Amino acid sequence: MAIRPIVRFPDPRLRLAAQAVTSFDADLRALAQDLLDTMRAAPGLGITAPHVGVPLRIVVLELTPGEVAVYVNPVVLEASTETIRHAEGSVSMPGVTEEIERPARVKIAYCDLDGTPQTEEAEGFRAICHQHEIDQLDGIFWIDRLSRLKRERVVKRFGKLGRG
């Protein structure tokens, strides 16, 4: 399909909550394909429609090459009290990462591209990815999960890369 331009930090659109998808049609399928193409070109493991300036609740993940998953209107239903730490980053802020602590397990609800309701339980890295991308759909950029000091350091490092 098409590789779309990625919205870069500090664009204010990255802080806006995305709207629920209501039309499960050819346009949605085309958007999902564009997101996959854009994510692979970035490169990245996950991407949301807001990353390309489209304010809709859609996530594409490809944590293992060739295993693509599309989540429409995803929400976290349950999260474990046990936590894990993992380095996170964003296609909207390439070149910088920082460790973030999140619940180790989650259960999410979402629709597939046909609009059929689904649930998925995930743990470890996959759970982290779900939470990271759903945060983005909620207008929470990943650095918002950092302490003020760490957030300032990440923004400074990103600025030094000349990509901001």
SS3 83: strand
Distances (CA, A) of 65 to 20, 42, 70, 129, 140: 28, 14, 14, 15, 27
Pseudo-torsion of CA 17, 55, 88, 163, nearest 10°? -120
CATH fold for the domain made of 12-152: Peptide Deformylase (3.90.45)
Q: In angstroms, rounded to a whole number, what is the distance separating the alpha carbons of residues 131 and 82? A: 14
pLDDT digit string (tens) for the chain, length 164 residues: 799 999 999 999 999 999 999 999 999 999 999 999 999 999 999 999 999 999 999 999 999 999 999 999 999 999 999 999 999 999 999 999 999 999 999 999 999 999 999 999 999 999 999 999 999 999 999 999 999 999 999 999 999 997 54
Active site includes 133?
yes
- Among the options 78, 98, 99, 133, which is catalytic? 133
Domains in the chain: boundaries: 12-152
Task: Please give the pLDDT value at position 163.
Answer: 55
Q: In angstroms, rounded to a whole number, what is the distance separating the alpha carbons of residues 5 and 55? A: 14
Q: In angstroms, rounded to a whole number, what is the distance separating the alpha carbons of residues 52 and 13? A: 10
Helix (H) or strand (E) holding 130: helix 125-137
